[in-house]
Structure formats: C-alpha cells, structure tokens
Chains A and B, each alone.
Chain A
Amino acid sequence: MKYIITLSLLFSTIVFSQENSSKSENVTFTVQGVCSMCKARIETGVIRIKGVKYANWDVLSNKISLIYNSKKIKIDDIHKKISLLGHSTEKYEAPEEIYNSLPECCRYKTNQPH
C-alpha cells in the first residue's frame, strides 16, 4: 500500500508538470535596464505576474526570456506590467513618474551597463 502511495506521488508530479508545460509559451524580448539591481527588480516583478512561470533577464543583451501560460495571461499584458515596474519594453514605454522613482543605479536612460 505504502509503495503505491509513494510511487503514485512520484508519478503524478512528473505527469502534472509535463501536462502543465504543454500550455507554455517561450518568448524573448528587450527590457531596458543596466545593472544587477535591475535584474532582481525585473525578475522578481515579472515572476509575480500571474501566469508567468519563469523569467530570466540578461544585463548585457537586455533580453528577457519568459515562459508563461498563454491561457492565463496575454503577452501584451506582460509587456504592460513590466513597463509599470519602471522598465520600458519593446511595446510599452515606462511611465515617466515610475521611471523617476527607480533607484539611482537603475536609471538606464543615463547610465551605462555596469
């Protein structure tokens, strides 16, 4: 009996995650930022958006790699929500007042990558 519980637990988790990833979409686009603090800001902000499963942003290329569930959120909404974090994307410019509240080192309009 206990064998069955253990094995079914193991099996169901694997199946569960496989099934889940079938609805997943991979996208890559540009998000403005300059430093490792930006990286933490962007990734933390993005992963908390409902429907986003994975986020990784690269300082040098300014590219974000995302995996999201297309049934739960539209890609346009993700762009919009990122811009509201203060970081402009290919589709949406960050609102001026939010950009101005960024920490000094994240001001990508004036700073070089560092």
Chain B
Amino acid sequence: MKKIILLSFLFFLFSFSVTYSQNFVKGIIYYENSSGRKVPLSGVSVFWENTSLGTLSDDSGNYKLTISDSSKRLLFKYLGFRDQIIQFNNQSSINITMIEEENVLDEVVVNKKQKTIQKSYFKTQNITNVSSEELLKAACCNISESFETNPSIDVNYSNAITGTKQVKMLGLESPYLSITEENIPMIRGASQIYGLSFIPGTWVESMQITKGSGSVVNGFESISGQINVELRKPYSDSPFYLNVYSNNMGRNEVNLHSNKIINDKLSTGVYLHANKNNNKVDSNNDGFLDNPLSSATNLFNRWQYINPTKGTVGFFGYRFMNDKKEIGEINDNKLPLRKPWKGEIHTKRFDSSFKYGYVNPKIPYQSLGFQMAFSNHDQKSFFGERNLDLNQKSFYSSLIYNSIIGSTLNKIKVGFNIAYDDYNEYFDRIFNENFINSSRIDKSFGSFFEYSYDSLDKISLVAGIRYDFHNNLGNFLTPRLHLRYQPFEKSVLRLSVGTGRKASNVISENQNIFATGRKLFFPNENELYYGLKPEKAVNYGFSFRQGFYINNREGDITIDYYVTDFDNQVVVDWETQGQVSFYNLEGKSYAKSLQIDLEYQFSDNFLMKSTYKNFNVKKQYKSGLLQNPLTPKSRFFTNLETSTNLNDKGAQWKFDLTYNWIGKQRLPFHELSIKKNGYSPTYSLLHAQITKVFSEKFEIYLGGENIGSYKQDKPILGDPFGTDFDTSIVYAPIHGSLFYLGLRLNI
C-alpha cells in the first residue's frame, strides 16, 4: 500500500513537470574568450524589439524573460559586442554566443563569477548571504550539516550516539541564535536540538547570517545572531529537480522537487525528502552504533500567488515530517550478562504558514506584510532507562508596514508580533524515578519601530526598538543599533549593539543529558521554568572589512570582534560527574569572539578563503570562572574552490576542499576519561568534493568527509546503566572517514 502511494505520488510529480506551462523564455548568454572557450557573459541587455520589456543576464549568463505579446524578435545588446536579433518561435530556451566587435574598443571584459558566500559593502548590518550553490559543497543533507564549509558558524557534535550536530556562533550555542524560516521564528523550544536537521538542504534557496544582535523586527530572542533561511519559491524554481545521495555508512537520501506554474498568477510546488540508514556501523568498536539507524520523510507543499498589477504577493504552505532514530548498543555484540542499552527518538512535526504582502504600485516605498504560522512539534523518546517526551504547539503572527520619512533615504518599519507557545515536557531526573511532568504557556505581544538612514555613500544606520508584553517574562524594552561607515570604496566599518532575552528551555536545549547517568538538579522543579530566571544579555561589537587588489585580483580581509555579556544566564553545570545542575548565574558570564577572514581570488577559477577564530567564553560556575566546556579557544579554517572552464555544452569539473583545525577544548571531569589533563587534543579535519557537471541539467558528485579519519578515543564512558555513564563528552568525530556519491537532475 505504501508503495502504491509513493508511486502515485511520483507519477503526480512527473505529470506536473510534463504539463508545465510556458510563459517565458530563458537561456544562457556566452562569449568566446581569447582561448576559444565559451564563458557566461553577465549584464547583457535582453529585450523584445520595440518594447521596454527586457532584462539583464545574471552572473552565470542566465536570463529569464516574460514572453511579449507585441514582439517576436529578441534583441541582445552588450557594449563591445555585436547586437544580435533572434526570431522567437516559442522556443523554451535560447542560448546565444555573443561575438566581439573588432577594434571598437580595447576595453577588457571583466568576467566575474558570483561568489557563493557574499558579504556586502553596503548593508548596514553584518550580513553574509549564503547561496544554494554554497550549500551544495556540503552535499549531505540538511542545514545543520551545511555549515561545515562556512567559517562564521561552528559545527559541533552534540553527543556520541545520536549523530546530531549542533551549531554555534560567536562561541554560543544555537539557542542564543534566532533561526527563522522566511522571517518566521522556526528553530526554538522543543525543536532546538534537531530542528536544523529537519530542513533538507535542497529546499533552501539562500540563507542570511547576521552577526551580532540583528534586527528588532523578528523578535527579542536573538542574542548572538540571526540565521534566516529562504526556501525555494514555486514560481522561480526549476520545474523538476532530483537529488540522490548515498554514503559508505549506509545512509541514503532522496530529494524530489516539482514546481508548476498554473497561470500567470498562481504556481505551486511539491518538495519531498526521504532518508534511510539501515547499516549498523561501529567503527570504534565500543559496542555502540556510531550513527543511529534512521528513517525520515519530509513533505512540503507550497503555493505562490503573484499579481504585479495590484502589487500583491501571497504564499501558503504546509508540511509534515516524520523522523525516527534508533540508537544504542548493537545486539549481536558480545555483551556482558545484561540487556543491551537502546534508545529511540521519534519526532513528528506539522507546520503551516501563510504570508501576504502588498506593495502600492503607485507608491513603491509603501508596503504591508502579514504572516501567520502554526506548528506542532512532538517528540517521544527514550534513552536506556530514561524517558523524554516533548510537545510544543506554536502560533506566530506578525504585521509589518514599511514606509519613508521625507524620501527613501529615511526608511521606517513599524509593526507587531504575537507569539503563543504551549509546552509540555515529561522526563525523569534519573533512571525511572522522580518523573517530572511540566507544562507552561508563553504568550507575548510586541510592537517594533525601526528607522534606517542611508546617505547612499559613506554612512548608514539602522536603529530599532521594540516593546514586548510577555506573560512570564514581564514587559520590557529591546533596543538595537547598527552603524556603517565606509570611508573608501573598499573599506567598511560596522558597529552594532543590542539586547536580547529569552526563557531557557533547559530540557529541550540539553537533551544530551538523557543519554548519560547524570542526575538533574534544578533550583525548584515545581516552579515556572524550574525556578530558572529568563536569560538576558547585551551584545556589541565591530566588523572591519578592507578589500584589496593584488595582481589585478580581488581579495579582502575582515576582522570581526563581538562580545556577548550576560546579565542573567541559566548555567548548565556539567562539572560534577554523575550530575547536571541548572542554576541562575551569580557573577560574570561572557563570550568574546574574534574572527579574522582572508579571501583571495587567485584566478578566474580559483578562490581561497581562510579564517582564524578565537573564542573566550567564560562563566561563573559554582566551582569558579571557567571556559565553557567543549568550546575550543581557537580554530582555523581554509576553503579552496576551483573549477575548469565551461565548455560548449555547459560541462565542467568543480573541486572543493575544506580544512579545519580545532584547538584544545576543556573537558568536564570524568574519572574514566583518558584525558587526564582535562583538555582534548587538537586535531584536523579535511573535507573534499568533486562535481562533474555534464550540462546545466545533470551532474554527479563525489566527496569525502573527515578524510584523515580522525576519531575520538573512547567517546562513551562508564556502565550504560550506572551513574557514571556518559556520552556527552564529545570533542571530535565518532565515525571515521565518510565517502559519498550522488547525482542531481535539474530540468
């Protein structure tokens, strides 16, 4: 029965793409360079003769133009090249090679490939844009894994058995980040640990990473930064996309997208993701699975409505996710005379969202946006003898109005957000005893005002303020300020300061406790938030970027320094073996982060990025002011990216190499730990990927992660059913080198 459903679904997807209606023409524009190779040409004007309907080709030479009713002749114009006119006979795509006009100009044609990670000189905030192409570099499989090639975000292993990776920014864990999906808060509360792994990488169109406090528009919760994920849009995405991935650890993944333009206003897309891992792998011979046995399906349907004459745009989407992970000891191993330690994490999630935007066609600087989202997150899990059930129902809505004061040099945003979260948690403090069943409702209403000024040359600023009414956190003000000063074209200095606060969801944020024998201690488990006060911090910092040319090639150096200073924080204290204590901060807690990036384009096809990071993250524990455990003080990162030239058919080879050096990390004390000095050794990781592009429609990729096969010795400590059991002291990969192979089909 399941197969029939799946087959009919597949059929549905295919029929979608076949009947796909065409109302535009697209193609790639090339020119022949001096060595006779075809190279994409950007900035070419493409328009219908005798009309003003036209466009420019993008950095990959692509253009897409709505079909004209009045003209059947397509004109291509570019300075220094002959004009070309093509008769249009309803072809769906027209590729063209521009021919240089001889001796007209001795101008050098600058052909620049768009970078996959882009930092802007002009934006006021410190925002990095990550394109979908960058996400391909970490081919597998979801966004939590996609940050491996991104220097601003660190990926850590959260424990030795669930295979989960956790992200950190500016030295702080993901709960201190605000992670939004198209500006709707997404990864928070119950989904904190696994949430990022539930967004398949191929669904993502782009990501915006803001360092520092960010904008006030999306709420008060962001402390160290914001990550916004833009998903694919049915109207602009390709009609059919398939990605298949398989690795030597037995993990198989499939992504299938299909989009259909129903008429000139309405389009829809269906996105399916499934993965399965059936292989029992125990490369370090500790009797435990290195990666969980897993199966997951994720289905997303989205509708897009556009009406350019009325200036309206709308989105509606819903999705279902079902993810099951089995963890623990392998049965067939020679176990002592006891039952094997096993566990399971089963998550079901439903999401739906509605967005509506209106831009006054007569007054383009006035616009109104409304959004609404509902989600239900349900996790049922057990870890050996310990149980953990989490449920969160969330509703979020916001209204935002954009306008100007005087002229578009002074812009304002005003609006409000409503958030409603219903949490239920059920867990035990220690093996099958002391069950705690807690539930709470968080409600908040906040309104914001953000003013931005842009002199269009040297100076810009964004000043935002919001005021929130929260049933549990009280009423409070959140101010944030960003300044940009660009004295010269290639130098830019940014400053930011702002506050943020959040209620700590200690159980869902620290799930790795449950795969240990540690007993939980709270100030008072019968009180709201178990007696823990809301976390409150101020974040400030600067970023300086200087671009340069060496050998006529572009490069830049960026220095970022950010400080997060906590007024109040929930201290998660792992320092005593056999227990985890949560308590309110008494004393100092700060995270100081320094990052130096160097980027240089050695040639048209060869880009190097290098990063050094230093984290000074300390807080006052009962046992003293200590560096956060499992947070390396320094890290070094290098990424090299190169490719061959495109040939006539659009074929090329792409190579990508990432090197990571991770400095020593302080380890919480454990009597069985083999690291007697209390610090982890330093180590390096190497990731590489080769992609063979056959055409713009088809490519095959092959890659390796952790090629040097660095593994942590003895990541699992103690007797699985004793109080000394610990899987949380993890500083390095659990599994050895991993190799994968996959293909992408894009029609």
Contacts and interface: CB of A to CB of B under 8 A. Distances in A.
Interface of A: 2-3, 5-7, 9-10, 13-14, 17, 21, 24, 26, 35-36, 44, 47-48, 52-56, 58-61, 63, 67, 105, 111-114
B76 to A, nearest CB: 11
Contacts of B366: 17, 21
Contact of B79 (A13, A26, A52, A112): A112
Interface string B409-421: 1001011100000
Given A2-B475, A52-B407, A60 B447 contact: no
B54 interface: yes
Contacts of B36: none
A88 to B, nearest CB: 19
- The DSSP consensus for interface residues of chain B is strand
17 contacts: A2-B467, A7-B447, A9-B414, A9-B447, A13-B401, A14-B401, A17-B366, A17-B404, A17-B405, A26-B362, A47-B407, A55-B408, A59-B45, A61-B52, A67-B365, A112-B79, A113-B45
Interface of B: 43, 45, 47, 52, 54, 56, 77-80, 83, 362-366, 401, 403-409, 412, 414-416, 447, 449, 456-457, 467, 469, 475
B365 to A, nearest CB: 5
Nearest to B105: A111
Contact of A13 (B43, B407, B408, B449): B449
Contact of B52 (A14, A48, A54, A63): A63
Closest CB pairs A-B (n = 10): A114-B79, A61-B52, A17-B403, A60-B54, A44-B456, A6-B447, A53-B407, A13-B414, A54-B408, A54-B365
A21 B447 contact: no
Contacts, number: 83
Given A54-B365, A63-B52, A14 B456 contact: no
Given A3-B469, A10-B449, A112-B79, 5 more contacts: A13-B403, A53-B404, A53-B408, A54-B365, A111-B79
B206 to A, nearest CB: 22
Nearest to B403: A17
Nearest to B449: A9
A12 B69 CA distance: 45
B456 A47 contact: yes
A10 B366 CA distance: 15
Nearest to A111: B79
Contacts of A24: 363
B453 to A, nearest CB: 12
Contacts of B79: 35, 105, 111-114
Given A14-B401, A36-B43, A6 B408 contact: no
Contacts of A54: 363-365, 404, 407-408
Contact of B412 (A13, A52, A55, A61): A13
A113 B77 contact: yes
Residue among B78, B363, B364 with the highest chain A CB neighbour number at 10 A: B363
A39 B295 CA distance: 53
A113 to B, nearest CB: 5
A112 to B, nearest CB: 6
A60 B365 contact: no
Nearest to B78: A114
A53 B447 contact: no
Nearest to B465: A9
Residue among B43, B403, B407, B408 with the highest chain A CB neighbour number at 10 A: B407
A72 B82 CA distance: 46
A14 B532 CA distance: 40
A111 B412 CA distance: 38
Given A67-B363, A113-B77, A10 B45 contact: no
Contact of A114 (B43, B405, B469): B43
Contacts of B401: 13-14
A64 B405 CA distance: 21
Contacts of A111: 79
A103 to B, nearest CB: 13
Contacts of B54: 60
Nearest to A105: B79
A111 B101 CA distance: 13
Nearest to A72: B406
Contacts of B364: 54, 56
A10 B404 CA distance: 14
Contacts of A55: 408
Contacts of A59: 45, 56
B45 A60 contact: yes
B414 A6 contact: no
Contacts of A21: 363, 366
Contacts of B407: 47, 52-54
